[in-house]
Every structure is written in structure tokens, then in C-alpha cells.
Amino acid sequence: MIGHKTIPQEMVGHISIERLILGGAALQRCGRGLAFAPGFSRCGEVAGELVFERKARPQRLKPRLQPCSDRSAEALRHPKSRHPKSSSTSSVALFGSAVLALISCAILLCGLSTSARAANSASGDVVLRALREEMERSKAKLKLENVPAPYYIEYRVTEIDQFEASAVFGALRNQQHNRGRLLRVVVRVGDYKQDSFFGTGEGTIDLVPSDDDVFAIRHRLWLATDRAYKAASEALSAKQAALKQLKVDEPVDDFAKASPLEAVEPLARFSSPDFTSWLHLLEEATAQYRSDQELQSFESALRFTVENRYFLNSEGTVARSGHAHYVISIAGSTQASDGMLLQRSHADQGNDLKDLPTREKFLKTTARILETLKLLRDAPVVDEEYRGPVLFSNDAAATVVTELVQPNVLGRKPQLGENARTTGKWSSSYKSRVLPDFINVFDDPTISTISGQPLFGNYTLDDEGVKAQRVSLVEKGQLVSYLIGRQPIRDFPASNGHGRAAATAAPAPHPGNLILQSTDAQPDAVLKKKKLIDLCRQRELPYGLYVETMGPSLQPRLLYRIWTKDAHEELVRGGVFGDLDVRSLRSDLIAAGTAPAVEDRSEPVWFSVASPALLFDELQVKRSQAAKQKLPEYPAPALAQAANKP
């Protein structure tokens, strides 16, 4: 990939409001329309009375002061050492103290200004007002005869403002701008040890009015809460009946307690209402298809999304946060003479339009995509089988870590009655070695950059109202922890701030910013030009393999032979890995580079994964056996200007 990397477009595509309603399903490619999904139940009644115990006063968290503080990984993990000053530097020290005092005042004013803006916007926030008022009414009124009163109620509203467009072969294909508010209500009956969060008791979803009508919003909240309460009472009975048929060796609680917090941050808005220039850029980029008549698809897409999230629960937590995401991508495909399908794609993203590449840079990236498609079409096919050293660039390694490490550090509670600790391949590997002893892995949603590169998995509170925190996952190759939400698992009774969810999905453990690092890092050039070649020479192999970028299903997109004789690189196509899995990560990974690359994903929530280059002692690479389609029977339409004239 070129520049800062996001996940290849066909692996991410774009997210639409209809997919958010479905709970963060796999994102589609591009050009899909937005529509609200039908089928929400909107009926129910309120009766009875409920009395709640007095709760602890929530702790207030200041809004994030990103412009006034260094949130980089380096700043948080490597504070500068302080040395005592000699008497000869007293005047300098006094001057420095004065400067520090001025800086402190500036930071304080910045913080007060941000807090004031958040407070002012909160006081006039109709959605927040409706949620507060209906929460208090539900706590006081929600009680049915012969049904246990709720011990926990949760409201989550996600307000989405989304603009997306796509162009193919130089022409705009579609554009749409949609806005909506999605609601999820959870009512839990029982207690923290055993409750109704099971089956139909896992919550109710609905749409709330997009107009700022407090009573219309409260009306939807009332009906959704009533429905969720009734479903919870039925779910608790069904769960208790199911548990009578099961034997759990080491039972854990259903829900973890959490301290009430309050974090009301400013709402997000589009930085500009006019996206005309970006539509022209999509057309201009895809018009470059004229340089290659053998392209079979060539498209560019953008997705600009503003998401404001509200969260309230009966424990006293109140949270509001706003985020903007701007994504622009380019993708193309062609066929080799033997019918092999070849694909390339690239995407850039940022939290503001100014973070996206300039017109010149995006067009340069587009030209590079076209160039590599041509090179792939003419490249030789990989040997039938190769077994030997393989070096993954930091870009490709970030994909490997995303696919093989990330799913296995999620501490998800197993299905009812199962005795496993969690659900991943490392469920029984707690306190065991899962990676080489020079590898450390941690997740830190409190940082927003690493090595000067932006990260997009940062947040203040997770989607269960728990404060975000750094979690060390693998230390010296040993698995020491998992990412946990408020559903406890064996040995982990409390959340570590990683319960996250798509707009209407139930929260589950997800990463924020997952970082893999080496304690014995080596320069990337040394890994590529020396260590890889030395390993091949020791085994009398004519070449080693270098993976520059990866595609879906851990298939290499740009794969090179590096010849041991003169270190020249040769692009090849059609390779697939035979044994790239968690076992090879543990046993065959022998070295890592210094410079990390970042991969960003948006399914089901935004998160980033950073990794340096990774060198494997031995991997199997085989020739792909995928079915090939026939080439078109006749050539593409002529591109001459005369062909466009009537």
C-alpha cells in the first residue's frame, strides 16, 4: 500500500445505516443505498411501580483535550527523565517555572473552554434531556405485578449523519446523504450474579425521531423500555430452565459492577457541508482507466460519517461522545492471460477532511494502483510449492496481526453451559506462551497516534460506560490478559474498558488500538536485504519471499521473490499460504522490524492495529487452485474521442 494504510476496500467497503441497524455486519464494497431496516416492534404498556436504591454519585470525567495534550504512544509510555538542577541554573529554572506556569494556565483555559462548550451544548441537548427524563421515570415506574423489578436499565442512542458516493470508469455512479437516530434499550432482571441477558432479553432496538422533539423521543423510549422489560422477564425464566439441564464447572457472574461515570463531550459535525470537489476527484481518479483497456473494474468511493453516541444507565453513568470519519478509496481488477483474477485497492481516512490526501497525492496513488495491476498481469505465477523464509512488510504484518492475534485476545463469554474460559483459539492459553519471547502486545484506546501515525480506536468510555484503559495482553510471548467487557469470564471478573458495539448490537470485547512490538527490533532494511537472504543461502534456496501487501483471507496481493544471487526483486502472482496460523506465529516467527504500519478497520467498531515487519523462519506458499474465469470474448469499447461522438 501507499501512505497510511487502511484495510483493503473489499475487506471493509463502507458502512451504511441499514448495516448499523443489523449490528455491524460485514461491510459492503461501495455504491449501496442507505435505508432504514423495517421490522421493529413498537408496542407495549407501562404499569406498576419501581423503587431503586440510592446510587453513588457519578464521577465526572473531563472531555478529551486532544488539542492541548500529547496522546501519542511514545508520550504516554516513555516519560522524559528528570535530573536535579545545579545552583548555576537557578535563573533558568525560574524562567522555566514561569513558562511552565503560563503553559499550565493555557492548558487549564483550554480545558475549561472545552468543558464549557460541552456543558453548554449538553444543557440544550434534546436527546440527552429525553434520555435523562425517561430514565428517571423508568426507574420510578417500571414494575409489573408478579415480575421482578429491573436491577439495571440502559439506553444507547446513536445519531448518524452519513454522506457517501462512488464513481466508476470516470462517471459518478451514485451519491446519497442520510441521517437517523438508532436506539438500543437493555433491561436486566435478576441480579449481577444471574440475570435475564439471554436470547430475547438481550435488548430492544428501534428508531427515534431525528427531529429534536423531546416528547416524541421519550415516547419511543417508553415503548422500547416496556418491551425490553417484558422480554427480560421471559428470558430469565427461559435461562433458568436451560441452566437446570446444564453443568457448569466454574460458574461466573453474568454482569460485572462498574462505578458510575459522567463524560459529556462535544457533539461532532461535518467540517464542511459541500463535498462537490470530492465528487469531482472520484470522477477524475477513475477516469484514469483510459490508460489500460484491460481493466475489468475500476472504481473510487467515499464515505463521510459523523456519529454522536449517547449512553445512560440506571447506575448513574451518563456519556456523550462525537466522532467524524472521512474515508476515500480506490480499487480495480483485471485478468491475466490465463484467466487469473488480480485485484488492488487502497483507502485513506481521517477525522477531518484536511487529514485526507490532497488531489495530487490521491491521483498519484491511483496511478500506482494501475501500474501494479499491469505488472501483476504480466508477472509469472509462483512455483507450485515453496517452503522457506518469508518476510512480511509492516503493512502486510499489520494484516496478519489483525487476522490472527486480534480475535484471540477477546475475552468473550462462551455460550450458556460451556466450560471454556472464552471463545478464541487462545481460550486455554492463559499464562502460556502464544508468541515468541521477544514479542509484546497491548491495547491502548487512550492514545491517538503511534510513531507519528494516526490511530482511530481511541475513546474515553466504552459502550458499557466503563473508562478506557491500557491493557497488556502478551508479555515476553506469554498471554497475560484478555480484552474484557462487563460480561465476566473465568479469572476476569471485571471489565477493563473494552465492551464496544455497533449502533444497535450488544456490547462485546473489541480492541481499541492493538499494538504489537518487539524487544529485539531490527531495521527493516536489514531484515529484507541481509537476514532473509542469509537464511535462504544457509538452506541453499535460490530465493526468499517478501510480502508487501495482503488481501482478504490472508492472501498476498503483492508478493516478490528476492533472489539470493544478487538480491533483485521479482513480482509473482497466484500465491496462497498453506500454514499461516497461530501455531506459525508462535513457532516460526524469528524477527521483527522497528517501524510500525497501521491497519484500520470499521467492523463492527473502529479500531486500529499496528505492527512492525515480521520475518518467519519457514512458511509454505502454494500456487492458488482457485477457479479461473474465461477472458472476455471481444475487446472493450474503443477509447478514442471519436467513439464518443454521435
408 and 318 housed in the same domain: no
Please report whether residue 358 resides in a domain: no
Lowest-pLDDT choice from 50-59, 368-377, 484-493, 495-504: 50-59
Q: Which of 67-71, 172-176, 222-226, 522-526 has the lowest mean pLDDT?
A: 67-71
Other beta carbons less than 10 A from residue 55's beta carbon: 12
Q: What is residue 273's predicted lDDT score, i.e. its pLDDT?
A: 87
Q: Are 596 and 472 part of one and the same domain?
A: yes
Residues 266 and 389 grouped into a single domain: no
Question: Is 550 in the same domain as 425?
Answer: yes
| Structural domain span for residue 486 | 380-623
Q: Considering the domain boundaries, does residue 450 fall inside one?
A: yes
Per-residue pLDDT band at 58 (split at 50, 70, 90)? low
Please check whether residues 321 and 420 belong to one and the same domain: no
Instruction: Please check whether residues 615 and 533 belong to one and the same domain.
Output: yes
Same domain, 320 and 394: no
Average pLDDT (10-28) is: 42
Reported as a single tens digit per residue, the pLDDT across 210-251 is: 999 999 999 999 999 999 999 999 999 999 999 999 888 888
pLDDT confidence bin for 8, thresholds 50/70/90: very low
Q: Residue 410: inside a domain, yes or no?
A: yes
More confident residue, 529 or 82: 529
Q: Are residues 175 and 248 in the same domain?
A: yes
The whole-number average pLDDT for the span 362-366 is 97
Q: Specify if 640 maps to a domain.
A: no
More confident residue, 57 or 533: 533
Model confidence at 116: pLDDT above 60: no
Does a structural domain hold residue 184? yes
Strand ranges (DSSP E) for 525-574?
543-550, 556-563, 569-572
Domains in the chain, number: 2
Rounded Cα–Cα distance for residues 63 and 79 (Å): 23
Higher pLDDT, 293 or 13: 293
Asked if the structure places residue 118 within a domain, the reply is: no
The reply to whether 321 and 402 lie within a common domain is no
> Is the pLDDT confidence value at 635 over 90?
no
pLDDT band at 330 (very low <50, low <70, confident <90, very high): very high
Distance of CA 508 to the CA centre of its chain: 13
C-alpha 616 chain-centroid distance = 26
Q: Are strands 171-189 and 150-168 parallel, antiparallel or unpaired?
A: antiparallel
Grid cell 529554572 is found at: 93
Q: Indicate if 18 and 154 belong to the same structural domain.
A: yes
- Residue 32 predicted with pLDDT over 80: no
Q: Is residue 4 part of a domain?
A: no
The reply to whether 318 and 419 lie within a common domain is: no
The yes-or-no verdict on residue 145 having pLDDT over 90 is: no
Is 195 in contact with 255 (CB distance < 8 Å)? yes
User: Considering the domain boundaries, does residue 82 fall inside one?
Assistant: no
Between these two residues, 538 and 65, which has the higher pLDDT value? 538
Query: Quick one: DSSP state of residue 410?
Result: B
pLDDT recorded at residue 19: 52
The DSSP-derived string for 243-297 is HTT---SS---SS-----EEEEPPPP--S-S--HHHHHHHHHHHGGGGG-TTEEE
- Shared domain for 318 and 397, answered yes or no, is no
Element (H, E) at 137: helix 126-141
Q: What is the pLDDT of residue 118?
A: 55
Is the pLDDT higher at 56 or at 590?
A: 590
What type of residue sits at position 91? S
What 210-215 contacts at long range (C-beta under 8 Å, 24+ apart), as own/partner pairs, is: 210/159, 210/179, 210/180, 210/181, 212/126, 212/127, 213/126, 214/126, 214/129, 214/130, 214/133
What is the percentage of the chain residues whose pLDDT exceeds 90?
73
Mean residue pLDDT of the chain comes to 85
pLDDT at 419: 87
